[in-house]
Amino acid sequence: MTLITRFPKAGLQRNLQLRRVECDGVRAVARCRPLRSLAGLYFDASFTIEEDTPMEARPTTTLDARYSDADASPTTWDETRHVIDAAELFWLTTVRGDGRPHLTPVVAVWVDGALHFSTGADEQKGINLRANPHVILTTGSNGWESGLDVVVEGDAARTTDEATLRRLATAWRAKWDGRWNFEVRDGCFVHPQGHEGVLVFSVVPAKVLSFAKGSFSHTKHEF
């Protein structure tokens, strides 16, 4: 929600002041510009009120020169984030009970500094995650001459908070134009015509690797 309030402008603008306040889980940003006119002192104030969401961490970004062209530059975190945001498919690697890897495609969304995906409790990846939270999510392209491949490493934690799940369901609908449409019930996603709950897992990255192609570079983003 956005609320903007402005007072009449007149005369010469003076210094900009910025104040941030929080109340009942809502963050407000107020910008106040003192203005002078013949009638006295006025203020031009803009108040932006928005839902309080976690601030995303900024990683430390380094280029691994051993696997990069001599004139390569590191891939920025913003470039990497763009690929993660836009990706329609990720390859999810989990670990079976006997240590063997399991790989499967999933759809996922990036919200609040984490990648989120879903699974049925009895699917192999759901079974694997009961015992071992370590995962890798990979996206990119199979081309060699151009593009950016991204590898996200971290631990998958079950998300059950219903307010968070509703926000994630909205993100799923928005990213795929309504083709993935979940309802929220009892700490799970539920398909509109389904009855079984779908578990939702969230991965806050520990490390993200970016592999640029064409002009080749290997970049590490560490959190």
pLDDT one-digit tens code per residue, 126-155: 999 999 999 999 999 999 999 999 999 999
DSSP string, 93-107: EEE-TTS-EEEEEE-
CA distances to 117, 148, 178, 199 from 157, in Å: 10, 27, 25, 10
pTM score, whole prediction:
0.75
- Residue pair 200/159 in contact (Cβ under 8 Å)? The answer is yes
Helix, strand or coil for residue 47? strand
Q: Give residue limits of the domains in the chain.
A: 12-51, 60-222
**pLDDT band at 190; cut points 50, 70, 90:** very high
CB atoms within 10 A of CB 26: 12
Strands 114-119 and 148-158: unpaired
Residue 21 has what pLDDT?
37
Of 116, 134, 118, the C-alpha closest to 126 is 118
Query: Domain 60-222 is in which class?
Result: mainly beta
Residue 192 has what pLDDT?
81
pLDDT for 2-13, tens place per residue? 333 333 333 333
DSSP string, 120-171: -TTSHHHHHHHH--EEEEEE--S-SSS-EEEEEEEEEEE---HHHHHHHHHH
